[in-house]
């Protein structure tokens, strides 16, 4: 039973979102070197991401049953875990995470509750993931900007650089959601879901992914270097319009790592 509950959280799939929150904490840690609080934040982040995936599995049975790529990842859809069992364990997970966030700080708790609420209504009724525009914007918040802000507020404030990073992660998370929807395009159509890509079309969605990915990199480069760096990226993007998602992901990881390294060594 425990194995199935852990499987339902899909922690491995959510590792990048956990990393967003940990990045914010790493950048802020020098101003608040509290190891115990840092541990609470890390555990609560893992619980949050696990909850977001678990609650999504509860309400994605209709589409995941039609998607062979997703069905084996959803123990509720495959029948390994009952809906009631999945729902109750999901609520227990986020309740524990909220308790941990409460003992970190008031701002951390408010941020945690906010992103948990958005993650809930994204999957459960009113199910924002099935409402065009709301699907990508909510994802940009609860699986982008807010986890980073949750970690970034570890020292009680957000610097200008942290604001740029939060904006970048919001934009990139919107692009990631478009990518996710494109992967589920056929199954979402069969389930009669009206996601943003279904409304605007595949080709427009693909172009928008590249534009948003480029913008997210520009937001990261601006505080690091200068506008000349942004011009360089624009030139590359114009010259090579068909850019692999892996290149975007690799570039994001690289520049986020640079931000973390700068914070650690104090440059």
- How far apart CA 151 and CA 111 sit, in angstroms, is 10
Band (pLDDT 50/70/90 cuts) for residue 124 is very high
Domain residues for 230? Answer: 2-265
Q: CA 194, 8, 178 angle in degrees (round to 5)? A: 30
Q: Which two tokens stand for residue 61?
A: 């049975």
Q: For the segment 4-30, what is each residue's pLDDT rounded down to a tens digit?
A: 999 999 999 999 999 999 999 999 998
pLDDT at residue 186, rounded to an integer: 84
Burial class of residue 85 in the structure, from the number of CB atoms within 10 Å of its CB (0-12 exposed, 13-18 middle, 19+ buried): middle
pLDDT at 191 over 70: yes
Query: 3-state DSSP helix/strand/coil percent for the chain, to nearest 5?
Result: 80, 0, 20
Number of separate domains in the chain: 1
Helix (H), strand (E) at residue 128: none
Note the pLDDT of residue 241: 54
**Burial status of residue 75 (CB atoms within 10 A of its CB: 0-12, 13-18, 19 or more):** buried
User: In which band, very low, low, confident or very high, does the pLDDT at 189 lie, cut at 50, 70 and 90?
Assistant: confident
Q: Which of 168-172, 221-225, 246-250 has the highest mean pLDDT?
A: 168-172
Report the length, in residues, of the chain: 267
CA separation, residue 176 to residues 17, 70, 75, 248 (Å): 11, 17, 24, 10
* pTM (predicted TM-score): 0.90
- Better-scored residue on pLDDT, 193 or 255: 255
Which residue matches tokens 């914007």? 137
Interior angle at CA 169, CA 236 and CA 210, nearest 5: 35
CA 50 to the chain's CA centroid: 12
Question: What CATH number did the domain enclosing 203 receive?
Answer: 1.10.357.140
Phi/psi at 133 (5° precision): 75, -50
Closest to 70 in 3D by CA, of 164, 228, 186 = 186
């Amino acid at each position: 039973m425990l194995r199935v509950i852990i499987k339902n959280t899909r922690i491995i799939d959510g590792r990048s979102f956990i990393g967003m929150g940990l990045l914010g904490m790493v950048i802020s840690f020098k101003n608040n070197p509290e190891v115990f609080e840092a541990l609470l934040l890390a555990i609560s982040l893992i619980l949050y991401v696990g909850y977001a995936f678990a609650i999504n599995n509860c309400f994605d049975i209709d589409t995941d049953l039609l998607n062979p790529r997703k069905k084996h990842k959803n123990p509720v859809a495959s029948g390994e875990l009952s809906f009631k069992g999945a729902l109750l364990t999901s609520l227990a997970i986020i309740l524990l995470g909220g308790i941990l966030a409460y003992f970190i700080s008031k701002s951390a708790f408010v941020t945690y509750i906010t992103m948990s609420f958005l993650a809930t209504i994204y999957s459960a009724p009113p199910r924002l993931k099935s409402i065009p525009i709301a699907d990508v914007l909510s994802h940009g918040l609860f699986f982008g900007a807010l986890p980073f802000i949750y970690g970034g507020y570890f020292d009680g404030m957000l610097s200008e650089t942290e604001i740029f990073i939060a904006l970048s992660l919001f934009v990139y998370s919107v692009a990631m959601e478009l990518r996710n929807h494109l992967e589920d395009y056929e199954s979402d159509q069969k389930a009669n879901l009206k996601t943003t890509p279904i409304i605007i079309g595949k080709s427009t969605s693909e172009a928008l992914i590249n534009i948003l990915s480029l913008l997210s990199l520009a937001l990261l480069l601006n505080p690091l270097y200068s506008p000349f760096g942004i011009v360089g990226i624009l030139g590359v993007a114009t010259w090579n319009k068909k850019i692999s998602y892996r290149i975007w992901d690799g570039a994001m990881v690289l520049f986020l790592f640079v931000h973390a390294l700068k914070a650690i060594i104090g440059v």
